[in-house]
Structure 1
Amino acid sequence: MKVKYAIRDNVLIDGLNRHYGLHIRELSFIPHGDSAYSYLASDGEGRRCYMKLFDLANARQKAGAERLDLYMPFIWNVYERGIFTRLSCPIRTAEGRFKAELSRGLTVALFQFIDGETLAGAYPFPEAVMRRIADSTAMIHQSFAPLPKADAPYERETFDLSFAPDLTGYLRELDRNGTGGDPYRTRLRELVLPQQAEIAGLLELLQDIRSNASFTESEKVFCHGDIWGGNLISAPDGELYFIDWEAMIYAPRERDLFPFLGETFTAFIASYRKRLGRPVSLQAGLLRFYIYRHHLSNLTNWIANILHRNTNAEQTVNDLEMIEHHCLDRWQSAESDIGRVQQQQE
């Protein structure tokens, strides 16, 4: 989130120390992501943790809090067994749980803090960075493969489109209702309503792709599920670390690869295949599904924030910027990017 949650730091600190048996003294807000509020927690003597705070009154954050029990045991298991350690390992409470319930409908989760710089500001990635990310992504897909599937709970890909009715409803709400003089709603209408027909067409396309039964037969791997610069940390030791595993899922590899389509994808996929040690062919339909679903589900969340959730103008300005510069302008290049991949595979 762009703006910190409206609660005193000392209340959060008391809750952390009570549930985790720590001696946290300071909290620093980190304006990162959309699914939770992020903080750096420090005891003042060198120990630091990464904290995620979930507001259960927010539908998306509530869903994120519910997913903690699904992915945190799995990631903890992966780390503790040494299968893949370049990640922010969950920290358990004094009672051995992976999250703590605070008062006022708040849930917190703690993770190891990884020193280094995120790659959020490194776009567009040069080929050397693309190769590093591809190599590490292939390591995840390869390393997790031998895991017994019953070791810990995990999510399987269902090609979910449950956001679609909400998006359709929000567009209808924007079209029918006035702005009441609200400059933010006015800007939202200006950005989104001219795209209504195209959005409807993309939702229909997603439904058509989802009905393709062949996708259920494609090879599955354990995917991080949300690989982008903000979830990648280049550490002082030269390694690349993966954080925020909330979207981890057992799915076609295209789920992790689609964000890197573009002019430098040739370097990316070459490094990915080199690490795997075998050729890999990507399905255009899956790439298309993941690209459009990603942008439309994000659009749904940002519109919902502006219409019904945000109480802070700074957060609303951020959400409008995300819609304009990180969503509506992104799907225009999708078909050319997919076509480039198809040509390379011929």
Structure 2
Amino acid sequence: MKKFLDSPATLLDTSLRGFAKAHADIVDLHTEPNYVCRKQNKPGKVALISGGGSGHEPLHSGFVGYGMLDAACPGQIFTSPTPDQMLAAAQMVNTGAGVLFIVKNYAGDVMNFEMAAEMLDCPNATVVVNDDISLPKNHSIGRRGVAGTTIVEKIVGAGAEAGLDLAACQALGERVVGNTASMGVALTSCTVPALGHPTFAIADDEMEIGVGIHGERGRETGKIAPATEIVAQVAGHIIDELAPSAGQSILLHVNGFGGTPLVELHLLYELAWQFLSGRGLHVQRSLVGNFTTSLDMAGCSLTVTLLDDELRQLWDAPVNTAALRWGC
């Protein structure tokens, strides 16, 4: 294993200190317990809080700031944050309008956020993101929350910034979740520092279709194919899931898992744009880059969100975070 670190045990704390210093104009870092919060709270605004295991950066800490999250709770690598982190963050950023938790659908995340919500002495609500269509709808643990989480956090963040109340922010988040589907493909596994070796083995001529973001294997292993065929397979599953009508406006998000260069991600975007446009869909908005990563995994996911005028306007609204920034 070759990684830039002194010790797996100190990786997260040192990284968080570096992140906070690099973006000191946007965020503050609190320790014992760890959470990142927005530099300046906006009185009377619904506070948005998310979090999860580290290793997915810039999700979630990179999305703290104007127009997105008010706080993010980072757990250890691929490990859920604890309820005390979530509670402390919520108490810090709540300004009287209540707290909305945005939670990826993993058992540990859901359980710990539920515990924090029960302990929190202010109005609160939760949106659970389950955009990964690699798993069937009736899967025992439900569908996982993956790259669509970025879309939810951006759109709901804009709604909260515009003054929507807690119930409206929750309803907006649930609408975005219902309009969003994602699926990922990996060419390599990832290496968790504390483990020291890849989480699964994959041959040089193979790919994993339907991977998670914690080093989980996909729903099937296949021989690597030309990019056009990979995109057609993944985008085809997404379209089958969402069943959009002809002429539907969409947001297309091509997300890298941490080890795929932008030249390949933009190639995939072009191929996905061609595929979706060829099926009568109007790609109105886009996001390309490494936003929901899996450490050093080579691979990508495609995410499609069905847009209407309101969702498009909220996506376009100004945002100022470490990882997303426009209109400010």
| Structure with the greater alpha carbon radius of gyration | 1
Higher share of residues assigned strand: 2
TM-score (norm 1): 0.26
TM-score (norm 2): 0.27
